[in-house]
Amino acid sequence: MPGVSSFRDTIVRTARGALAGLLAGFAALAVAELVAGLSRPAAGPVTVVGGAVIDRTPAAVKDFAIRTFGEDDKTVLQLGILLVLALFAVVLGVVALRYRRTGAAGVLVFGIVGAAAALSRPDSEGAGDVLPSLAGTLAGAAVLFVLAGKATPAGSPSGDDGTRGGWSRRGFLTAATVTAVAATGAGGLGRALSGRRGRGALASRDRLVLPAPASPAPPVPSGAQPKVAGISAFTTSNRDFYRVDTALVVPRVDAGTWRLRVHGKGVPRPRSYTLDQLLARPLIERDITLTCVSNEVGGPYVGNARWLGVPLAGLLSECGVEPPSKGGRADQLVARSVDGMTLGSPVEDVMDGRDAMLAVGMNGEPLPFDHGFPVRMIVPGLYGYVSACKWITGIELTTFDAYDPYWVKRAWARRAPVKTQSRIDTPKPFARPAVGTVVIAGVAWAQHRGITRVEVRVDDGPWQDADLAVQDTVDTWRHWSHRWQATPGGHTLAVRATDGTGAVQTEQRARTIPDGASGWHSVFVTVT
């Protein structure tokens, strides 16, 4: 029955083609991983393509991703890239059955995409960065060429002699198995090598002993944290602190070789600092609340930590920098991180006496790698994207007219002071508290202006003053609580804050783009 057998042949052939394509893709990634491990982990194809995708994603989509996937956004992106790769690999594999050379050549197209992405990365170290993508695709093309050959009948299209007319089933399976095993080995070795490269950085962090601050922060007042179940901890632990950045691979910077260069317009004495030089300076310790501009009303991207660092204004003065109000030529400070990220802050704000710092410590330990080890910037009162550069390695003085940093090129505002905001931590949305006393509580922040009042409203009732917890500093958030005599039924609870300038938090709803969300946070509950 030639009809049935040729139909089955087609299925088997197609399956083999698909498998050959997948294995070729797998081998390509594994070899690329190996070469990246040997040369530069940050130049691996998934990392560079992912980075390129992040940089080209419209602000609204990125905001959506942060909102929807939170801190898993990068995992989702990487899985997406792998899925797209797998689909193309299957198609190429099937194509290669008939057009072996075309299929193999198709793999090379991926090499070009990977290489181009590698070269376009802001932290690209030059031509060497194309090596992982190039080596990977050559390996992938070779694997596809060989496997497609083995999956194709050598002689007549069909036969009943058990070899299915030259379908060398054993040959194909052997080649496929060898490929899978070799690729797994290469990929594993590459991963191990990449891990090793981070070890110097790990050791440098383990060795780092933070000096005592010359200007310590007083203990957090005991009244800063109301004893209410479900309210945010006053100090956010490093583990719980939100993380927002574009880094697919967290930079592991070796503190021993790290340098910070201060240079640019109106810098008569440009200088480079080692970490030891920074640590030898008088350090300040301050509680400062950091907020992300992508934080929606009621959102989680706000955290408060005790930072230890070098006052930035003094360091800038040492290099001869003057703020614009004193005739300085530069009004924008552009911080650059090791991964090429740039963030711009107003020089005036950084030098106006607030505790802008180059932080080395977070809650009593060296900065975690996720949060910028060895050094990051912190400026009270400014959203993270215009101030809080992690893995900082350069400070360039320039003007707002002359240069737009990363996020500003992507539709975010040039200047972005933190907006006065408040959030209900408890009860949670759609909670079902029992009739009687229900404690409504949460946090409010207006960094560097402070919070002077928080009011709560139930349904269309009057605004009622909440109990304010003791203020730590004007640079931290302030906790609040309100005892509510809850009556049965559905209720909408709303909150609004007043800052130290007397400004009441606006009801006006604004999206996060371009300079931060506004509006009142409200929560619907059903009292039973």
Closer CB to Mo ion, 307 or 385, in the complex: 385
Closer CB to ligand MTE, 310 or 343, in the complex: 343
Peptide bond into 433 cis (omega under 30): no
Q: How far apart are CA 524 and CA 492, in angstroms?
A: 4
Q: Is residue 17 within the footprint of ligand MTE (CB under 6 A)?
A: no
Is the Cα torsion angle 397, 402, 406, 411 positive or negative in sign? positive
Span interacting with ligand MTE, options 173-181, 383-391, 486-494, 519-527, rule CB under 6 A:
383-391
Q: Which of 13, 100, 371, 491 binds ligand MTE (CB under 6 A)?
A: 371
Span interacting with ligand MTE, options 166-174, 309-317, 337-345, 353-361, rule CB under 6 A:
337-345
The option from ligand MTE, Mo ion, none interacting with 242 (CB < 5 to 8 A, set by class) reads ligand MTE
Look-up of token digits 């050559």 = 138
491 Cβ contact list (under 8 Å, min separation 6): 458, 459, 524, 525, 526, 527
For ligand MTE (CB under 6 A), the number of binding residues is: 18
Q: How far apart are CA 528 and CA 435, in angstroms?
A: 6
Q: Is residue 391 within the footprint of ligand MTE (CB under 6 A)?
A: yes
Closer CB to ligand MTE, 147 or 297, in the complex: 297
Token pair listed for 323: 């703020």
Instruction: Let me know: does 378 contact 387? Beta carbons within 8 Å.
Output: yes
191 Cβ contact list (under 8 Å, min separation 6): 33, 37
Q: How far apart are CA 324 and CA 307, in angstroms?
A: 27
- Give the end-to-end CA distance of the chain in Å, rounded to a whole number: 73
| Positions in 143-202 near ligand MTE (CB under 6 A) | none
Q: How far apart are CA 81 and CA 488, in angstroms?
A: 50
The option from ligand MTE, Mo ion, none interacting with 389 (CB < 5 to 8 A, set by class) reads ligand MTE
Span interacting with ligand MTE, options 124-132, 238-246, 306-314, 478-486, rule CB under 6 A:
238-246
Q: Is residue 477 within the footprint of ligand MTE (CB under 6 A)?
A: no
Q: Is residue 337 within the footprint of ligand MTE (CB under 6 A)?
A: yes
Sheet of 451-458: strands edge to edge?
464-465, 451-458, 489-499, 521-527
Sites of contact with Mo ion (CB under 5 A) = 244, 292, 384-385
Q: Is residue 341 within the footprint of ligand MTE (CB under 6 A)?
A: yes
Q: Where are the alpha helices (DSSP H) in 99-198?
A: 100-120, 131-151, 169-197
Closer CB to ligand MTE, 145 or 242, in the complex: 242
Q: Which of 107, 248, 389, 486 binds ligand MTE (CB under 6 A)?
A: 389
The residue number whose beta carbon is nearest to ligand MTE equals 384
Q: Is residue 412 within the footprint of ligand MTE (CB under 6 A)?
A: no
Q: Which of 55, 63, 129, 245 binds ligand MTE (CB under 6 A)?
A: 245
Positions that interact with ligand MTE (CB under 6 A): 241-246, 290, 292, 337, 339, 341, 371, 384-385, 388-391
